[in-house]
Structure 1
Amino acid sequence: MNFDWANIEASFLSLLPSLLAIALALYSRNVILSLLGGIVTGVFILSNFSFYASLYAVFELFFSMLSEAWVLKTLGFAILVGSIMELIEKSGGIEGFVDYMQNRVALVSSPRSALVLSYIIGVVIFVESSITSLVAGAVGKPFCKKYKIPNAKLAFVCDSTSAPICSLLIFNGWGALLLGLVTTQVTLNAININPLSLLMDAIFYNFYAMIALVVTFAAIWFNIDIGAMKNATISAAVSSHDDTKHADMFYMILPILLMIVLVFLFMYITGGGDIIKGSGSSSIFYTMLTTLLFMLFYYVGTKNMTLKRWGKISVDGALKLFPIALILLFAFAIGEVITNLKTGEHLASLANQNLSPYLLAGVIFLLGAVISFSTGTSWGTFSIMIPVAVPMAVAMDANVALCIGAVISGGVFGDHCSPISDTTVISSMASDCELIEHVKTQIPYALISAFVALVLFILFSFL
């Protein structure tokens, strides 16, 4: 076997920033400084190891990121979420919801039923991964406090039902991106099959997402704690809503229902009448902003709180999540650096050397998993790997749908559990779980799902 050593060296250098950021985060637990270390390292490589050029490039990078509308909207979403969650808690809506579910209808009576409720919500809301995590976390948090469930376990449930379910039920932005990529490859490679049919066949082979959902449900139902989850932090007692007069679950239910409806509405509007073409960043930002305004009129109008108190709580909640917004900004920045280093392209070219058709889908899955975990983006992985995987499958007379399914599964793996993935960050935020604790407690389950998926990709390649 002839190795392209120059390409191997380029691949290692391109992978170094993300590996450094992940290792530093797991070791130091300081996510922002770890991400900054990865960014500076990547920029240093891109600037041909020039100190002064690197310094200028770092400032230029953050300036360009803050000039992007989608970045500003996503950061605004994170901050507005803080305001909304704080208002819901202080309104008494959480206490009212706990009382209703536990005492009036008795749907939740144990840690198992509490987590199953969040799991079901995560599966039902599939339009956008951030909203999936947010709503599942908001519903589950009060029960975590009530039944002494670790925040990390709720974060695991939120994260495991966001990217996986969005990649299986593709009537959303995920489906729009995948269909566009598949359609292009069908045309370029003269594949005699309808692109939508090919994509639907590929979804059948999205083994990682399916297994992750099964593993998560099993972990809930049988109370399976493995690895760091055995020592996860237990939630504090339910906090009081201070001087609020009403403990009514509708102060929690109505804002959440409004968020669900609005995200569909804004996806429809931003997509010009086609919901799967809608802008995720715009939709979640406008959803949060409209929900916050609704809560102003609802809470103040029903005399749950005064205008002054509403304003103070909103600001307090926003300030609590400001560090999360910074983490997202740094995660986006390192993603930009990794894209410029062409990490995915280098790794993909290494895989295209003397592969057996029977191992092709398995290797594509592993490569997609490495790229997505290193970059923190499933969509970026799809965009890199589908143009690589489809021609390889055609040339080697392999199952094209199986190889596309391997790409999707590999991309979902990183989106699910990478510490620099926005979905991972938002899931930990929605569950009040420290980010690194969430990553450490979730990875063993994700690796189990990945191993089973790899076996299935190899098995189906032979079949």
Structure 2
Amino acid sequence: MEGYQKSFGPLLTALLALVLLWPGSLRAGETEPALALSPPALVLKGIPFEVTVSGTPAQPLWLVLDGRRHALVFDGGEALVEGLVTGADHAALALVDATGRVLAEAQSPAIAAWLSVLPALLAIVLALVFRQVILALFVAICVGGWLGYGLAGERLLTSVLDSVNVHVLTAASDSEHMSVVLFCLLIGGMVGIISRNGGTVGIARHITRFVRGRRSAQTTTGLLGTAIFFDDYANALIVGNTMRNITDKLRISREKLAYIVDSTAAPVSAILLVTTWIGFQVGLIDEALRPLAGFEGSAYGVFLAAIGYSFYPILALLFVFMISLSGRDFGPMLKAEIRAVQRCGGQDEALTDREAIAEEASIDAKPGIPHRALNAIIPMTVLVLTTLGGIWYTGMSELGFPAGASLRDVFGNGDSFTAMMWGSLLSTLVALVMTRAQGLLSMDETAHYWFEGVKSMLLPITILMMAWALSSVNEALNTSDYLVSVLSDSLSPELIPVSVFLLSAFTAFATGSSWGVMGIMMPLVVPLAWAVLQHHGLAGDPAAMHLFYAAVAAVLAGAVWGDHCSPLAETTLLAAMASGCGLVEHVRTQLPYALFVGVISTLCAVLPVAYGLPWWLGLAISAGIMALGLRLLGRRAEAPEQETDVPTRAEADAR
């Protein structure tokens, strides 16, 4: 025992002294409060950027940026400084005190501002030229990652490795992105089941009884797309999967189906009063209106007043029905329609397309079983009703289940991603139970064809993931900041709507995100439009408020127009996927139509209305010019007498 004490006594004494002296030693070692310097990961030359300094300093501090001192004013433990780099290849930052002592240093690479749009443009050009979407997106992501490192030569290999390990992985980690992925997979599985159990054949036969030919089939598709207005994602997936077999049977090209689906998805969701878009838009408008001095009115009132000035979404919907009812087409769409009419069968030929976004297995109905339309109608109805009910429930939950909540407020605050997953899951379960209850397929067969349906979605989901990754790369490169800087100079009030419309469209085209464009542009455009009106003494003048509403609508309309033209847009991908059409073919055939409507809406509605023409007259004139242009440019893909040919029940069964 005595030896034990001799051995460990000094050690215990030293440990005890250390514990007693520890707080004092900490206090003695403290010299400066901890300060954090947070520079941007990348700087664009000539574009202002912000540097954040956080901490609680005990003395005045300055931030030195390329030799210039900026005094720091801390508010809530943070200070923001706006910097600018013009010629250097990096932004050198230093945090200094009154004596000039450097407390912290950092630097960010700087690149020419125009390079920030290079990845998006590269993806678009490569996709259109080589018709290899995945390769185009991969190259664009790698180039964007390299630009993010300031084009450092030693970082080139790292940029290639980061394409999947960082950018795609980040896109896959987003909960809303995964909601869309799960929705697509479950929808694909449900379609696989109802295709094999004869449900899709049954519904096709029933709808064929009312479809009087190719015109009425296209019109029916457009009406269905307008009826499913509550969400653009659900719209594209439901309408495309429901009508694909019918349009194949009537030899309507997959390109035409994808165009109708795409042009009735975002436009109708953007302008109707009860959709998942409304809460997002009204929230952006409300946030942008708060700092405006002298403005009287609500965010929802501004949104309602701006609907009439949303020329492109309204005219795009109208043009769908012009195309469908007239039976006329022009450009690449006409060639696609001629190919579809001339082939012996629609579906099998369409599935051999090398560019098909979903190289789906041909899932035919099982021989020898009855083809009941209810086996498709009931799961689809469950999908729609559950999605609507889910949006209502999540919206009410977000609002706290108030007694007098309006339907617009409820749907505006609903969680469409959660509701879509609920709907797709329940519809899949209903399809499975109905199939087994009727003894149409064994459990092994049901599982097999569910996986066949899921498998058809793997390629489009891969493209979707890479498109999301490229979107995050564009965000890291501050692409939108550069595009917005184009309008940094003062504008006359009448030119604000058209300038905002064109810039929003180009930004959406380059980035592929209509919601992203709205989120970026709305907080900038609303104060800009109000400031310009104030500068000219027009703020609050009822005779000039149409310019303010038109500027707000131009953000939405431009975002939808650019979304329709871009192969990177999510709704473009989903419309092509649900229609079984090649993504590149969908973009090639839809682009002339989108440009046709967009140019007419710009020249005949946006500009004249800004100079005083009533909005309804601008819409009427644009509609008349579109009809005249379609009459002059378009022609039918078949002889007129074939339009009214109606398949008999025997012919439908034989097919």
Check 1:162–1:40 CA distance in 2 against 1; reply closer, same or farther (3 A cut). same
Shift of 1:400: 1.4
Corresponding letter in the other structure for 1:258: V
Counterpart Cα distance in 2 of 1:315 and 1:197: 47
Counterpart Cα distance in 2 of 1:329 and 1:37: 14
Aligned pairs for 1:341-420 (under 5 A) are 341-397=477-533, 399-420=547-568
Corresponding letter in the other structure for 1:196: Y
* Secondary structure of 1:149's aligned partner: coil
Check whether the contact 2:224–2:239 (CA below 8 A) recurs between aligned residues: yes
From 234, 237, 250, the counterpart of 1:147? 250
Check whether the contact 2:269–2:275 (CA below 8 A) recurs between aligned residues: yes
Shift of 1:269: 3.0
Corresponding letter in the other structure for 1:142: N
Check whether the contact 2:279–2:411 (CA below 8 A) recurs between aligned residues: no
Corresponding letter in the other structure for 2:419: S
Corresponding letter in the other structure for 2:322: A
Q: How high is the sequence identity, in percent, across the aligned residues?
A: 28
Corresponding residue number in structure 1 for 2:184: 78
Counterpart Cα distance in 2 of 1:5 and 1:300: 64
Counterpart Cα distance in 2 of 1:270 and 1:26: 40
Corresponding letter in the other structure for 2:347: A
Counterpart Cα distance in 2 of 1:124 and 1:425: 21
Check whether the contact 1:211–1:452 (CA below 8 A) recurs between aligned residues: no
Check 1:244–1:189 CA distance in 2 against 1; reply closer, same or farther (3 A cut). farther
Are 1:427 and 2:538 counterparts? no
* Secondary structure of 2:210's aligned partner: coil
Counterpart Cα distance in 1 of 2:314 and 2:571: 18
Corresponding letter in the other structure for 1:135: I
Q: Deviations over 1:373-401 (max 9, x none)?
A: 11111110101111111111112116211
From 161, 179, 196, the counterpart of 2:300? 196
Corresponding residue number in structure 1 for 2:371: 247
Corresponding residue number in structure 2 for 1:281: 417
From 10, 14, 19, the counterpart of 2:121? 19
Q: Which has the higher strand share?
A: 2
* Secondary structure of 1:236's aligned partner: helix
Are 1:132 and 2:235 counterparts? yes
Counterpart Cα distance in 2 of 1:70 and 1:244: 42
Query: Which stretches in structure 1 are left out of the alignment for 5+ residues?
Result: none
Are 1:299 and 2:448 counterparts? no
Check whether the contact 1:93–1:252 (CA below 8 A) recurs between aligned residues: yes
Shift of 1:52: 4.7
* Secondary structure of 2:221's aligned partner: helix
From 596, 600, 606, the counterpart of 1:452? 600
Shift of 1:89: 1.6
Check whether the contact 2:192–2:363 (CA below 8 A) recurs between aligned residues: no
Check 1:244–1:312 CA distance in 2 against 1; reply closer, same or farther (3 A cut). farther
Greater RCO between the two (CA within 8 Å, min separation 6)? 1
Corresponding residue number in structure 2 for 1:209: 313
Check 1:25–1:310 CA distance in 2 against 1; reply closer, same or farther (3 A cut). same
Q: Deviations over 1:286-306 (max 9, x none)?
A: 221221111111111121211
Check whether the contact 1:137–1:158 (CA below 8 A) recurs between aligned residues: yes
Corresponding residue number in structure 1 for 2:147: 45
Query: Which stretches in structure 2 are left out of the alignment for 5+ residues?
Result: 1-43, 48-85, 87-110, 341-345, 349-361, 402-409, 534-543, 613-655
Corresponding residue number in structure 2 for 1:162: 265
Check 1:305–1:116 CA distance in 2 against 1; reply closer, same or farther (3 A cut). same
Check whether the contact 2:170–2:469 (CA below 8 A) recurs between aligned residues: no
From 51, 56, 68, the counterpart of 2:174? 68
Q: Deviations over 1:297-326 (max 9, x none)?
A: 111112121111110001111111101110
Corresponding letter in the other structure for 2:610: S
Check 1:205–1:257 CA distance in 2 against 1; reply closer, same or farther (3 A cut). same
Q: Could you say what the CA RMSD is over the residues aligned between the two structures, in angstroms? A: 1.9
Corresponding residue number in structure 2 for 1:224: 328
Corresponding residue number in structure 1 for 2:106: none
Shift of 1:75: 1.5
Q: Deviations over 1:188-231 (max 9, x none)?
A: 11321121111111111110000101111111111221111122
From 436, 443, 455, the counterpart of 1:319? 455
Shift of 1:11: 4.2
Q: Which has the higher helix share?
A: 1
Check whether the contact 1:299–1:305 (CA below 8 A) recurs between aligned residues: yes
Corresponding letter in the other structure for 1:438: H
Corresponding residue number in structure 1 for 2:196: 90
* Secondary structure of 2:365's aligned partner: coil
From 270, 273, 278, the counterpart of 1:175? 278
Check 1:364–1:93 CA distance in 2 against 1; reply closer, same or farther (3 A cut). same
Counterpart Cα distance in 1 of 2:238 and 2:169: 32
Shift of 1:135: 2.1
Are 1:461 and 2:610 counterparts? yes
- What count of residue pairs does the alignment treat as equivalent? 457
Counterpart Cα distance in 1 of 2:485 and 2:456: 43
Q: Deviations over 1:78-108 (max 9, x none)?
A: 2222212222222212221222223xxx321
Instruction: Please report the TM-score for the alignment, with normalisation by the length of structure 2.
Output: 0.67
Corresponding letter in the other structure for 1:268: W
* Secondary structure of 2:249's aligned partner: helix
Instruction: Please report the TM-score for the alignment, with normalisation by the length of structure 1.
Output: 0.94
Shift of 1:117: 0.9
Deviates more, 1:73-82 or 1:220-229: 73-82
Check whether the contact 2:491–2:532 (CA below 8 A) recurs between aligned residues: no
Counterpart Cα distance in 2 of 1:228 and 1:257: 35
Counterpart Cα distance in 1 of 2:325 and 2:389: 34
Deviates more, 1:234-243 or 1:211-220: 234-243
Shift of 1:408: 0.4
